[in-house]
Structure 1
């Protein structure tokens, strides 16, 4: 029988968006067919006036080439794992004996989630992959699970020669990071998540105080778009619009980032506006608004991440998660109560995030 060839080559990669794509984006922004503003303002979604401001800045104020150069300042690579090309940043510490750290982004984010925090984590060897179906990583061609992604990233760390490393994840990353530990518990020092562990559900036996937390969570979710249901049922339907209209894609991104930036009125009050647009632009240029939803459309219903009990777990900020619920499935050793920030803390609070993550991993050495 013919032998199976396993590709293990690591190739250098640089972002180089063709000028024709930039010209096409500008033309589409110029030709936007604007919707009328509905009564009710924010209660109806992203307001026309606010979206117009963002679109105008994207068209005439945002400098993609400068941001492209900023991203290309980080060493980037591509390698094939399980038949898919995987893109990643690999930023080595000046200390050859430094601990390696795998940073896993969320949705609707990208590796851009960690751009602002890299300089504060230089004491680690950083590996920052694009999840398959996001940005420059190839999209899965068949059913793909968070366990598949976890095994893929464990393979990546092994290929890079790291025998021991920490793993961080938030949002979608909070599902993937524990899967890396499950795939390679003998290599993972610890798993650190932004949040998402120990969230109460109606199925849990809760105290009165814990039921208040559940009530708050239900109140918050009732005012947000249920993207899990939307993308579980019809990701292809919405991808047609997001792939054709940059303003449509931008509106979707602003909707979700405004919902996730829970500490401020507008996401740009917590996250650098250029970083938000770099993220949206990456989805636009790579056409990944549909393929990035793979982890939703193969699920029957939404469920909070459970975690793992094979290696120690740290959490950036416990509430609204409940520690006793998280400890049913995790060996929690780090659970601060009052770290600042909203959902994407590496973008909102890079200094505090880096310090807390370093404290967690430092305690495991």
Structure 2
């Protein structure tokens, strides 16, 4: 199948069904004054759902999404949905940007314009990129695999084919956060001759036991990991072991789906316990809607299972140039000394504000870091 233009047009019957399901929600109880301690706060979710029913305009968000040039193509039997926005500059660098969970291609929409057309956003046209933003397989408008094995390595292989065979780029850069960082780094590991460089705003590290006492940064990082594993990783364990069981509830209940997703947006963002100081309701609901209308919450969660059960892991050092932007409210902040053992770090930036969803929270800062990193390795 050749590359085909793609646009989103959700049938009105799907929206009617959603409104009916929202109206028939059976709400659970909650411990008095428990805030978000036990999970998604009841009062906030009820407020969000009320807006979803009476104030949210999906058609307006659909129009926003369709303002980007979208396409779909079959890559090795998998239909991949992607944005392909051409750079407005003398020598654009091809750049594939990958999202993670519970995000979507929408998570990256604020950085596409500044990266493709810097001159129109206060930048230098020399810094332009041809930007490719795919929906991960099993996410959004990309196909859902009905076979096992759609792990990080397999996605990297598909994205390599997308960039080289389908789009004709011999060499390109990769960027991402969350799963997108793992996919981008795996591209760098597997295809060093094709990757100009890799930039990430989340850096996965293998836990290595070194000689002597750990540095302060290393000790802090290990404590962050321990806290996360104790109090924040339950979702990952469920999705990595029994995603199918969870999917029955989330695929059937839009409120259940929203509750599962927005808790992560609050926990992982630099929102100072006020979710809407970073994201507005339209942004939160548009991301949720992409999961709802495509029924991809189950297939998206399977990435945790497939990766946890994959054969082999990254063992060697990634030798292509790597740039890192560390936003202060990221889940963990890895130490530089350990990172240099596993990656060829060429830029290491500690950011002033922002968290896990950097492209939505601090788009200008992330764009600056992407431009700066690739400026030094463009040729």
Summarize deviations over 1:118-159 as a string: whole Å, max 9, x none.
Answer: 121122111000000000111122222211111111111112
Q: Which residue of the other structure, out of 72, 84, 91, is the alignment partner of 1:90?
A: 84
2:11 is equivalent to residue 18 of structure 1: yes
What is the CA–CA distance in structure 1 between the aligned matches of 2:115 and 2:349, rounded to whole Å? Answer: 20
8 Å contact from structure 1 (residues 198, 327) kept in 2: no
Corresponding position of 2:110: 116
2:25 is equivalent to residue 32 of structure 1: yes
Corresponding position of 1:130: 135
Moved more, 287-296 or 15-24: 287-296
8 Å contact from structure 1 (residues 163, 187) kept in 2: yes
* TM-score of the superposed pair, with normalisation by structure 1: 0.92
What is the CA–CA distance in structure 2 between the aligned matches of 1:10 and 1:339, rounded to whole Å? Answer: 40
Summarize deviations over 1:92-142 as a string: whole Å, max 9, x none.
Answer: 112363111110001111101111111211221110000000001111222
What is the CA–CA distance in structure 2 between the aligned matches of 1:322 and 1:109, rounded to whole Å? Answer: 26
SS in 1 for 2:353: coil
Change (3 A) 1:53 1:318: closer
* TM-score of the superposed pair, with normalisation by structure 2: 0.88
Corresponding position of 1:4: none
Moved more, 335-344 or 38-47: 38-47
Change (3 A) 1:165 1:136: same
Summarize deviations over 1:230-254 as a string: whole Å, max 9, x none.
Answer: 1122111111001110000000011
Instruction: Report 1:74-223 matches (<5 A).
Output: 74-95=68-89, 97-122=91-116, 123-142=128-147, 143-158=149-164, 159-198=166-205, 201=207, 203-205=209-211, 207-209=214-216, 210-223=218-231
Summarize deviations over 1:150-170 as a string: whole Å, max 9, x none.
Answer: 111111111212122110011
2:281 is equivalent to residue 273 of structure 1: yes
> 1:49 Cα deviation (Å)?
0.7
Corresponding position of 1:351: 364
Q: Which residue of the other structure, out of 40, 43, 53, is the alignment partner of 1:49?
A: 43
Moved more, 45-54 or 33-42: 33-42
The alignment of Structure 1 onto Structure 2 pairs a total of residues equal to 357
Give the gaps of 5 or more residues in structure 1.
1-6
What is the CA–CA distance in structure 2 between the aligned matches of 1:24 and 1:203, rounded to whole Å? Answer: 53
2:65 is equivalent to residue 58 of structure 1: no
8 Å contact from structure 1 (residues 198, 323) kept in 2: no
Change (3 A) 1:329 1:318: farther
Corresponding position of 2:119: none
